[in-house]
Amino acid sequence: MGDAQDRFLDLNMFRGVGEDHVYHPPVLADRPRDWPLGQWADAPRDLGYPDFPHYHWRGLRLLKDPETQVAYHNLLWELRPQMIIELGVYSGGSLVWFRDLTRLMNSDCHVVGIDKDLTRCQIPDAEMSNISLHEADCAALEALGMLQPVLAATHPLLFIDDAHVNTFNIMRWAADNLLEPGDYFIVEDMIPYWHRYSPKLLVEYISAFRDALTMDMMYANASPQLDHGVFRRPATMD
């Protein structure tokens, strides 16, 4: 990492998103829910609404599309992580989903959610077993540094950036302080946007990790949300 610059620019400056964190069941505003079979051939072939915001797990927003869910299922079965860290809690649906999925796999995994605003989290108190929440601003690496003893406790470790803030500085911090051979660092959603709007910086920033990480081609091609964003610390570097 010696040739990496002191501070990476936050590429998220090129795109901003914001959504209501509460899950709302979809409403078919332009068609009846019960379509008459006498008009079966005339039924619309789309849903009539954007489906992504309505993915959920047990009534909590789960902003991971079906392809991404399948990819994570396979990765969790292969890796059997002892800890999953997700930056960006939002409603908390993915934290509960990760916890439940690893339980079904008979894996003893602790799920950690980190966000600067936990007021949006909707996880009921009764569902917090094997889940812990920490309030920290990803823009301030010293805040994550205070959590290092907790985050570095167990391995294999799966570290997911779903906050899209200060991503590459956090990635370098994780590579320098947390990740052991076999651990993963995943950047969700943003790689395709950064590649479109700031390709030169993106290539430069990813190349800065060439001595610490590799890209797992099995999962980096598994879904658009994970596109070119699944990195692993290998046992050895060629």
Flag whether 64 is in a domain: yes
Q: Is 225 helix (H, G, I), strand (E, B) or coil?
A: helix
Closest Cα to residue 83, out of 68, 94, 98, 70?
A: 98
- The CATH number linked to 186 is 3.40.50.150
Question: In this structure, is residue 4 part of a structural domain?
Answer: no
State the pTM of this model.
0.87
| pLDDT (mean) for 149-154 | 82
pLDDT 10s digits, 13-70: 444 445 577 888 888 888 999 999 999 999 998 888 888 888 899 999 888 999 999 9
Is residue 42 in some structural domain? no
- Tell me, rounded to whole angstroms, the distance of Cα 187 from its chain centroid: 6
* Residue 78 domain flag: yes
Structure-model confidence comparison of residues 4 and 147, the more confident one:
147
Strands (E), 62-200: 83-87, 110-115, 131-135, 157-161, 184-187
Q: Which pLDDT tens digit goes with each residue over 184-224?
A: 999 999 999 999 999 999 999 999 999 999 999 999 999 99
Quick one: DSSP state of residue 112?
A: E
Q: Is 79 in contact with 216 (CB distance < 8 Å)?
A: no
User: Which residue segment(s) compose the domain that 173 sits in?
Assistant: 59-232
d(CA 151, CA 112): 8
Instruction: Determine the pLDDT at residue 11.
Output: 62
Please tell me the total count of domains within the chain.
1
82 is a domain residue: yes
Question: What per-residue confidence (pLDDT) applies to 144?
Answer: 85
Domain for residue 125, yes or no? yes
